[in-house]
Amino acid sequence: MNTKILVVEDDRKIAGTIRLYLERDGYDVGIAYNGRDALKEARAQKPVLIILDLMLPQLSGTDVCRILRRESEVFIIILTARTTEPDKLRGLDLGADDYVTKPFSPRELMARVRAVLRRKRPEPSSKSPEIRINGLRINFERHEVILNEKLIYLTPAEFRLLETFVKAPERVFTRQELVDSAFGYHYGGFDRTVDAHIMNLRKKIELDRLQPSFILTVYGVGYKFSLC
């Protein structure tokens, strides 16, 4: 089992604290203090998860996340002092799996790490590798989404959510059910992150995200994928 975690943080004190807590939990920890070293170490060490600060010298964490997401599906937790909702949405849209803001509790970060690592990446459908719904094509083997013959880029988290929806159309999912089904774990603080992923997903697959036709909100309950 891969227990390698790469911490990318230019503040050496913070990096050292994170390393201490991770090693106490039994993880094999590597550290990079700038963006260029982060890419080098990620490619060499093949970590299962990367804890990534956005404000880095040489190459920003935003660029690091974008590049890594093109190359692999490594789990990424963004760690940053940027706390506004647009900042969080941008981080998740880059392909991050979770977002932790500074100042943070090391114990909370460890809980997020354990939760993220309990997730499962999507596997090919046991029946058909592709589903077609009203101009939307989802290929589970290639992890591709095509809308009206145009290839749409989805982050791994967005793809997992879409896969959950299309395999149970018209079913109403609560936020916690989406967490359990799409990400495979129980984590009480993840509701707002689900909403952020839904918002990003709508931007990409809905012709009018203000009046969505695929992913509908069921007020007071959660969301469903409509076939109408």
CATH of domain 130-225: 1.10.10.10
Q: Which residues fall within 8 angstroms of residue 42, CB to CB, at 6 or more apart?
A: 6, 32, 50, 64, 68, 74
* Calpha distance 169→124 (Å, rounded): 18
Q: What is the pLDDT of residues 176-221, one digit of tens each?
A: 888 777 765 544 445 667 888 888 899 999 888 778 889 999 998 8
Run of H or E including 92: helix 85-93
pLDDT for residue 16: 95
Residue 59's pLDDT band (boundaries 50, 70, 90)?
very high
pLDDT for residue 1: 62
Residue 142 has φ and ψ, to the nearest 5°, of: -95, -5
Question: Taking the model in full, what pTM does it have?
Answer: 0.61
What CATH topology corresponds to 4-117? Rossmann fold (3.40.50)
Q: What is the pLDDT of residues 87-145, one digit of tens each?
A: 666 667 777 888 888 888 999 899 889 888 876 554 444 455 788 887 888 888 888 89
